[in-house]
Every structure is written in structure tokens, then in C-alpha cells.
Structure 1
Amino acid sequence: MQGSQIKVEIKKLSHGEGLPLPCYATTQSAGMDLYAALNDFAVLNPLERLLIPTGIVIAIPNGFEGQIRPRSGLAAKHGITILNSPGTIDSDYRGEVKVCLINLSNQPYKIKREDRIAQILISSVSQVIWNDTKEFCIEETDRSAEGFGSSGK
């Protein structure tokens, strides 16, 4: 079964020219790879964070969001992840997509132009309308109000 498709407008900025558009690595990938739109390279030192440009601006339709997520290979092999993971791109944002990377390893990591640095998923969202009430009818669950490790290790 194939998921639904939506059209999202995308524009390359001047420093993104020559880079691939975000794309799926395989036919069943959930996320599309994002590329570093650096002039040359940047060094991400241990415990340092950098905002890496992607060279693109996108127009996400109302009712959807962009989720910026880490690439598992960067995290597992090099300790590079996204600080605010997942990062959210709201449908009304029209600035450049940037990725806040952090180096959790003890070695500097070199990020080069066109490196795949993150992935983006476009997902539908719902907006909540709160029903402020004085009487709260709680449906009992096995978990109840327990949290922070109460469901097991």
C-alpha cells in the first residue's frame, strides 16, 4: 500500500545551487535526505552545536508540518545528532531550512558541502481545541497517572 502524496513547493537559494533536492534513499523510506549547503566545510567539535544551512526554502501546506530528524548512521558511527530532535517546520515558515547539529562524540567531525546531514518528513497535523472543564471524567487505564519509567525498563 502506498501512502498519500502532497505537493510541496521548494526553492533553491543561491548557495544551494548544484545540490540535490531532498529525496528518498529507497522506495519505502519515510524521510528525505537533506544536504549541507556549505561553501566548503565546517568542523563540529565535541559538544559543539552548529546551525547548518540546506540551501532550500519550502512552502508546507496548511495542515502539515516538516519534521527534521537525525540520520541514524551519523548518530551511530560519529555521535552526530540533531539538538532539537525532531525539529518542527510549521506550515507558515518561509525561511531557509537549517539543521541544528550537535557532536556528542569526543572527536571533531568535518561536515562537507553536499553531505547528507538530516532527514525531513512531511506529516499531517491536527490542531487541538481545549475543552476547559471543572469535572474531568477520566477513563481508567492500566497505567493511570504513573509515568517516568512506570511501564518497565
Structure 2
Amino acid sequence: MQLNIKKLNEKAIVPTYGSDYAAGADLYACLDEPITINPGETSFIGTGLAMEIPEGYAGLVYARSGLSCKMGLAPANKVGVVDADYRGEITVALYNHSQESRTVEPGDRIAQIVVTPFLKVNFNEVNELSDTVRGADGFGSTGRK
């Protein structure tokens, strides 16, 4: 699949895949200067890119495992959703979960985007749902013995 992107800034870096089988393509910080994110704070980091995601697809913006686990920086909204009709800059709200200030440098990999199809459903309100063995048990109930 080919996805049209537009550089909104000449410094923007086109997303790249880290390996042949990577599901997510790395998004890069498009900054004029480093940004320091203090513990418990969020900074909006632009990528300098806009995308033309096809109808029936969405761009899901996830944390990069190394950045989130080692540095404590991850998207504030956990998973960002880029809709097919959005044409603005892809921006990552990066939250600092760590106890130390962290600095994002121009060109750093800040998140990853997975372009995926989705099902659009019609919600049908009913009075009853079908029965299952599990029923309404949730939050770890399937692992209990």
C-alpha cells in the first residue's frame, strides 16, 4: 500500500520501519531546538508531516517500547488515532512518566504509527444480549481457577 505524506517542514523526516517485519513506522521529532519535558508534564511534539490515510483505515500512534520503558516518555493519550479525513500535522503529545527531566532532540524517534483497517459498525440498541459461558466477568476473570 502506498500512503501519501506531505512535508510541512523541510526538516521533517519520512517515517521508517526498523525491520522488514515491523508493524509500526517510527515518527521523528521535527524541532528547531531540543525540548525538555519535566516529570509529570506533557509536550506536544510535531513531526512536520501530514498524511492522507485512506478511507476505511486509521493511523494509530503508539509508544516506542525503548523510549517508554527506558526513558519514561510515551504518548499522553496512550494511543493516538489519526482519522482518514485529518490533513493536519501529525503531533505526538509526549508525557514524561519518569522522575527525571527528559530532553527530546530534533530528529529523535518519538512514537510509531501503525496504519490499519477498521470496521465501522452500526450500534443496535437491544434489551438483552446473547448468553456466553463468561458472561459479565471481566478484569482478569478468565485467568482465575
Relative to the length of structure 1, the TM-score reads 0.89
The percentage of counterpart residues that share the same residue type is: 40
Say if 2:1 is the partner of 1:13.
Answer: no
Instruction: Give 5+ residue unaligned stretches, structure 1.
Output: 1-5
Question: Which residue, out of 80, 85, 88, partners 2:78?
Answer: 85
Moved more, 102-111 or 76-85: 76-85
Question: Which residue, out of 44, 48, 58, partners 1:55?
Answer: 48
Distance 1:64 1:120 in 2: 12
Q: Given that residues 59 and 115 in structure 2 are in contact (C-alpha distance below 8 angstroms), is that contact kept between their aligned partners in structure 1?
A: yes
1:3 alignment counterpart: none
Distance 1:67 1:137 in 2: 30
1:1-150 equivalences under 5 Å are: 6-14=1-9, 17-134=10-127, 136-141=128-133, 143-150=134-141
Q: Which amino acid aligns with 1:66?
A: G
Instruction: Give 5+ residue unaligned stretches, structure 2.
Output: none
Distance 2:112 2:72 in 1: 16
- How far does the alpha carbon of each residue in 1:5-55 deviate from its partner, in whole angstroms, 9 at most, with x for none? x221100012xx244310101001000000000101100100000110000
Secondary structure at the residue paired with 2:67? helix
| 1:36–1:124 Cα change, 3 Å | same
Secondary structure at the residue paired with 1:76? helix
Total equivalences in the alignment: 144
- Runs in 1 of length 4+ with deviation above 6 angstroms? none
Secondary structure at the residue paired with 1:96? coil
Q: Given that residues 23 and 114 in structure 2 are in contact (C-alpha distance below 8 angstroms), is that contact kept between their aligned partners in structure 1?
A: yes
2:142 alignment counterpart: 151
- How far does the alpha carbon of each residue in 1:88-144 deviate from its partner, in whole angstroms, 9 at most, with x for none? 00101111000011001110001000000000000001101122233x341313x21
Distance 1:123 1:60 in 2: 10
Q: Which amino acid aligns with 1:140?
A: T
